[in-house]
């Protein structure tokens, strides 16, 4: 069932017989109240291998790079989706690797019901396996907070080449 937000008006009517006048009387009362629906938000964090230029590979929950003389580079995509019944008037987005990246999302606030926005970070060099988490704290238009977190992991493999020299005698 869909949530209702905003003003809700309720009217109650009572009909009774007046004891002295022997006739029906009716009393009506109306009450209006504000229904404040809580916000809801989803954050999706994905990682991909960086490709030549400003391109990124396929985004997913994990990406594997190969370390040789240099550390591999990765791209991160962080998407925020308003999954609630009210607009979001404030977004605070933090990341355990990238820090506070809220400024990248401020131009999209207020974020309408069902709307989404994303931000791509290019060319982050990582030399070791690196799990990390992005978190969003959203404030709804009628107040209230919603929080969500998502993880993405980088796996770094080391490229090792072993050279073996075989010397054969001319007699074999």
Residue range 29-35: mean pLDDT, rounded: 84
Convert the pLDDT of each residue in 50-68 to its tens digit: 999 989 999 999 999 999 8
Convert the pLDDT of each residue in 70-126 to its tens digit: 899 999 999 999 999 999 999 999 999 999 999 999 999 999 999 999 999 999 999
Q: Which residues pair with 91 in a beta bridge?
A: 138
| Cα–Cα distances in angstroms (integers) from residue 143 to residues 28, 39, 68, 88, 146, in the given order | 33, 8, 51, 9, 10
Q: Are 90 and 82 in contact (CB under 8 A)?
A: no
The pLDDT of residue 20: 79
Question: Cβ–Cβ contacts within 10 Å for residue 105, how many?
Answer: 21
This prediction's pTM:
0.75
pLDDT-based confidence at residue 1 (cuts at 50, 70, 90): very low
In angstroms, the CA 3 to CA 142 distance is 14
């Amino acid at each position: 069932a869909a949530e209702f937000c905003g003003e809700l008006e309720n009217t109650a009517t009572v009909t009774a017989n007046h004891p002295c006048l022997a006739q029906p009387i009716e009393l009506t009362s109306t009450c209006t109240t504000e229904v404040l629906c809580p916000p809801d938000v989803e954050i999706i964090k994905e990682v991909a291998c960086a490709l030549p230029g400003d391109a990124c590979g396929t985004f997913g929950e994990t990406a594997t790079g190969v370390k040789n003389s240099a550390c591999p580079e990765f791209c991160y995509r962080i998407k925020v989706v308003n999954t609630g019944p009210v607009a979001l008037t404030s977004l605070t987005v933090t990341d355990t690797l990238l820090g506070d990246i809220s400024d990248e999302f401020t131009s999209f606030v207020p974020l309408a019901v069902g709307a989404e926005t994303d931000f791509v970070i290019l060319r982050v060099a990582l030399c070791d396996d690196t799990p990390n988490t992005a978190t969003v704290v959203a404030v709804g238009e009628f107040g209230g907070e919603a929080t969500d977190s998502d993880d993405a992991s980088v796996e770094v493999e080391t490229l090792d080449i072993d050279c073996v020299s075989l010397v054969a005698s001319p007699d074999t």
